[in-house]
């Protein structure tokens, strides 16, 4: 019974987050429309995704603690409701302040939803296969991002009507997640005895935020670096950059950008399967991190088709869900998984907000646009620098893991293989 239900839970979780992924990525396809039809600056456009992350700097950890207290399924349902409210306010979107508030609400709900579903999957797959399950979760969820990018073609009539109809379409996708979140909650409530979850914490202690091993902090740092490059470029500025720098249409830019998640849809489960079966997590991280700076080198220094660089970025980012999140779940106690994920997302949100804002500021400072393509050099240099720091960090992590006899991200593979019911 547990075997069948855990796959149903995985499917419901993936469909729930899929709508939110679509909505998060709905800003990049309309960036040019916002610039031309509403006169938004690059910094204002960047702020729409920066404000998504800002509230989660202090509140992501609160969401993680709350999940540990009230349960992942209940928290996911409440968060989906908040996401829907935020998506609707963003779609109304006039004046600009209302759009910002909508993205703020959406960000508040989305990060808690994200953490809750990851915790829920970790609990239902506690007996084995965590890396593959989380990889499949992200692979299916990123269909939402792929759909958002390609919507410039399959929903072209909506874009022809202006900036607002595409945002209403995004709100509808987010609202559909309420149905699957409710179904997940009902299944989880009736079968709580089948999932693996430690007893809830009776009270919160500040020391619980720092009582993690050194490998956990390495993993957290890498997550922040990866996310600070990947999401601000791909989900905020890439489509606009492709149009201006490569001279292509909105539809062509959306399709080119979609290759990031099209590649990840297939690469992520493969990486997850390898991580579950063979381990080598630090090695996988090093390979993934090495691809990221190469992505920007190919993008800027060659005339290769855009899909080459975007597919490379998709493969690179596949290691995050397939390696980092499962490793995080394995390195902490079950009753503290929500808190650990919340701490990761808190610092990740800080990186996302700072990177989005900085990239928009650099584009405005150097007057980036179709008439000044070189103005994007500042933004691209920022992302390339962060990519190189991430690569160097993964190399150092791999050296450290090879010198250790146990206890790191490689050791959890050995532990889980020997005793699949003891993942702490």
Distance CA 115, CA 377 (A): 34
Domains of the chain: 2-195+212-417 (1.20.1250.20)
Residues of the chain above pLDDT 90, percent: 28
* Cβ atoms 331, 409 nearer than 8 A: yes
pLDDT tens readout for residues 129-147: 777 787 788 888 888 888 9
Distance CA 325, CA 195 (A): 19
Tokens of residue 352, six digits: 């996302």
Helical H segments across 247-376, by residue range? 250-278, 281-301, 306-317, 319, 325-331, 337-365
pLDDT tens readout for residues 24-80: 889 888 988 998 899 888 888 888 877 877 776 777 667 777 787 788 889 999 999
Tokens of residue 373, six digits: 């393509």
DSSP 3-state percent helix, strand, coil across the chain (nearest 5): 85, 0, 15
What's the pLDDT band for 209 if we cut at 50, 70, 90? Answer: low
Distance CA 1, CA 96 (A): 50
* 13 has a pLDDT exceeding 80: yes
- Residue 287 in 3-state DSSP? helix
* pLDDT at res. 145: 84
User: For tokens 């404000």, what's the residue?
Assistant: 51
* Cβ atoms 411, 424 nearer than 8 A: no
pLDDT tens readout for residues 82-102: 999 999 999 998 899 999 999
* 410 has a pLDDT exceeding 70: no
User: For tokens 């990486």, what's the residue?
Assistant: 271
Q: Could you tell me which residues come within 8 angstroms of residue 288 by beta carbon, excluding any fewer than 6 positions away?
A: 271, 315, 316, 317, 318, 319, 320, 323, 394
Q: Could you tell me which residues come within 8 angstroms of residue 368 by beta carbon, excluding any fewer than 6 positions away?
A: 42, 244, 362, 375, 376, 378, 379
* pLDDT at res. 170: 94
Distance CA 353, CA 347 (A): 10
229-250 exposure pattern, b = at least 16 Cβ within 10 A, e = fewer: bbbbbbbbbbbbbbbbbeebeb
Distance CA 162, CA 322 (A): 38
């Amino acid at each position: 019974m547990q075997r069948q239900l855990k796959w149903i839970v995985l499917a419901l979780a993936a469909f729930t987050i899929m709508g939110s992924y679509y909505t998060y990525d709905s800003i990049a396809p309309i960036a040019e429309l916002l610039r031309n039809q509403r006169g938004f600056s690059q910094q204002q456009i960047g702020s729409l995704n920066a404000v998504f992350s800002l509230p989660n700097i202090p509140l992501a950890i609160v969401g993680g603690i709350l999940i540990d207290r009230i349960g992942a399924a209940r928290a996911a349902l409440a968060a989906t409701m908040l996401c829907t409210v935020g998506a609707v306010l963003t779609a109304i979107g006039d004046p600009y302040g209302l759009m910002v508030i909508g993205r703020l609400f959406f960000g508040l709900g989305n990060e808690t939803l994200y953490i809750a579903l990851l915790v829920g999957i970790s609990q239902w797959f506690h007996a084995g296969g965590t890396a593959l399950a989380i990889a499949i979760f992200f692979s299916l969820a990123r269909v939402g991002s792929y759909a958002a990018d390609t919507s410039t073609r399959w929903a072209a009539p909506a874009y022809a009507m202006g900036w607002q109809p595409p945002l209403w379409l995004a709100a509808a996708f987010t609202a559909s997640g309420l149905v699957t979140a409710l179904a997940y909650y009902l299944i989880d409530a009736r079968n709580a005895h089948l999932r693996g979850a430690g007893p809830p914490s009776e009270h919160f202690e500040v020391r619980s935020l720092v009582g993690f091993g050194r490998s956990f902090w390495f993993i957290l740092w890498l997550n922040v670096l990866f996310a600070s490059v990947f999401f601000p470029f791909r989900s905020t500025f890439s489509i606009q950059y492709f149009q201006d720098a490569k001279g292509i249409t909105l539809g062509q830019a959306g399709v080119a950008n979609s290759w990031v998640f099209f590649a990840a849809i297939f690469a992520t489960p493969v990486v997850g399967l390898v991580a579950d079966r063979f381990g080598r997590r630090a090695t996988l991280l090093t390979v993934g991190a090495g691809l990221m700076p190469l992505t920007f080198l190919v993008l800027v220094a060659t005339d290769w088709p855009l899909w080459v660089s975007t597919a490379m970025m998709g493969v690179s980012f596949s290691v995050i869900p397939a390696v980092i999140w499962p490793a995080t779940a394995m390195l902490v106690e079950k009753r503290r998984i929500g808190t650990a994920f919340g701490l990761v997302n808190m610092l990740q949100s800080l990186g996302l907000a700072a990177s989005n804002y900085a990239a928009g500021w650099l584009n405005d400072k150097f007057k980036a646009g179709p008439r000044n393509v070189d103005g994007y050099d500042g933004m691209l240099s920022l992302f390339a620098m962060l990519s190189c720091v991430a690569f160097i960090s993964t190399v150092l992590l791999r050296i450290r893991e090879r010198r250790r006899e146990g206890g790191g991200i490689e050791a959890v593979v050995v532990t889980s293989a020997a005793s699949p019911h003891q993942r702490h």
